[in-house]
Chain A
Amino acid sequence: MLAAIFDWNLAVEAFPQLLVAFLKVTLLVTVVASLLSIILGLVWAIGLRQLPAWLGWPLRLFLDFVRMTPIPVQLLFVFYGVVVFRPRVDALIIGVIVFGVHYSTYMAESYRAGIESIRSGQWEAATALSLPATRTWRAVILPQAIRNTLPSLGNWTIAMFKDTPYLIFIHVAEMVTRAREFGGMKFSYIESFTIAGLIFLAASYPTAVLMRKLEKKLEY
């Protein structure tokens, strides 16, 4: 029954198109946005520790707000907010920024946990040696903290990767959007959506297994 419904010819036709969309959009957004969120997350985490209270709590509020509201609304909000000023803005750039900022709020929590796992003796030693703040962070705290944070950052990147189809809300032609178009054109959705799912699985499962291995390896 399945063989009669699943048309292999259509599948063969769909696969290269979806793979191109995957490489050109899905992977590109994931890579650039995850770099952005890895950097921003660290900035937030250090900011929450170093900033004076009157700047710290608005930051905390902003991070909680972004973390607890859905990506599609954030995408639409930023996209149409920017379109007013720049009608020809590239939706892909908006997507990268929104994904980057959204996941940076999660990563900030991961960094925070990593920083908090550093024993107070390390901070005290840095103070005793009167190391300047930048040197304390760069040479003492971060190398240890990031080691604890690394698997968690990887896991959030995988989560972001699987959220990229939300780009459909701002009309970026990523893989799943293409799969829907292809299915609509051929009056058969099973081939294109199954392939799209398999491409996701093929990319995310090995990475997830790798992260679990890394986690075990980094444990003291």
Chain B
Amino acid sequence: MTEFFSDFSTVLPRLISEGLSATVYSFLGGAVLMLIVAVLLGVAMHQGPKWLATLARIVVEIFRGTSLIVQLFWIFYVFPQLFAVDLGSLWSAIVALGLNYGAYGAEVVRGSLNAVPKGQWETTTALSMPWLTKMRRIIWPQAWALMLPGFNNLAVMLVKGTAAVGLVLLNDITFEANQARITNGVWAAFGAALLIYLVIALIVSTLFRWMERRAQHRLGLWVKAASTTKATAEAVA
């Protein structure tokens, strides 16, 4: 047992100093791209003209229907062959994570826009508001509060998804833990890795819950304990 703790206390700083940056950069880049892609595709699916909505729907179904790892490999191995651009490991990871989870996020955005009460939409029409004003001032603040629980779940899934970036040769936490396994043993190496991922996921989740409370507060709503897993199950399939 004491041996485990001494191993654990050597592995944990090593993983943090050598693997954390790749994991965190993939997550942050992926999260930003996820939000952009989700908003663009989600709004296009809900608000766009027929052709644009169909196009966005096709993109979403392709990225949801093929696996993240396939997309990761496609971007990493096929892009250089097809377009003669080599994105490199980190950008391949960010683009794959952002597009994949962004496609799931688009469903969250679309569903939230759909859930904004009909009267709100009708009122903006009655007031003949320009589209941008209507979205920015009336619809979006309400939809934003509705979509944050969905984004919270997706962000936690994105944290877990970053464990795949070792496959495109990034030295992330998972990769470093697998190296540390040889010198420090299975329990210490992977125990430390699991702990780091858990802490990152908890931080991200807390941040999103805070944002959700703030968004509801700005709408003058009281916080309700919402069960979000069902919404995620619908979004991930």
Q: A-side interface residues toward B, CB under 8 Å?
A: 2, 5, 65, 68-74, 76-77, 80-81, 84, 106, 109-110, 113, 116, 151-152, 154-156, 158-159, 162-166, 168-169, 176, 179-180, 183, 188-190, 193-194, 196-198, 200-201, 204-205, 208, 211, 215
Complex CA distance for A205 and B60, rounded to whole angstroms: 11
Beyond A197-B66, A197-B71, A208-B64, 18 extra complex contacts between A and B, CB < 8 Å = A5-B82, A68-B198, A73-B190, A73-B197, A109-B229, A110-B229, A113-B227, A151-B234, A152-B233, A162-B66, A176-B67, A189-B73, A190-B78, A193-B77, A197-B70, A201-B62, A201-B66, A211-B237
Q: Is the interface of A mostly helix, strand, loop or mixed?
A: helix
Give the top 5 A-B pairs by smallest Cβ distance, nearest first: A155-B237, A70-B163, A77-B190, A165-B69, A189-B77
Within 8 A of A (CB), among B171-224: 173-174, 177-178, 181, 186-187, 190-191, 193-194, 197-198, 201-202, 205
Query: Does A159 lie within 8 Å of B237, measured CB to CB?
Result: yes
The contact sample of 16 A-B pairs, CB cut-off 8 A, is A5-B82, A68-B201, A68-B202, A71-B163, A73-B173, A73-B194, A77-B194, A81-B186, A116-B227, A155-B237, A158-B236, A159-B236, A165-B67, A165-B69, A193-B77, A204-B65
Q: How far is the CA of A126 from the CA of B37 in the complex (A)?
A: 50
When distances are taken between beta carbons in the complex, the residues of chain B under 8 Å from A110 are 229-230, 233
Contact A176:B73 (CB < 8 A) given known A165-B67, A211-B237: yes
How many Å from the CB of A30 to the closest CB on chain B? 12
In the assembled complex, how far is the CB of residue A11 from the closest CB belonging to chain B, in whole angstroms? 13
A-B contact count (CB 8 A): 147
The reply to whether A176 and B197 contact each other, CB–CB distance below 8 Å, is no
Q: Which chain B positions have C-beta within 8 A of A80? A: 181, 186, 190
A189 touches B177 (CB 8 A): no
Interface string of B43-82 (1 = CB under 8 A from A): 0000000000000000001101111111101100110011
| CB-contact partner of B65 in A180, A205, A215, under 8 A | A205
Q: Of B70, B81, B174, B187, which is in contact with the most chain A CB atoms at under 10 Å from its CB?
A: B70
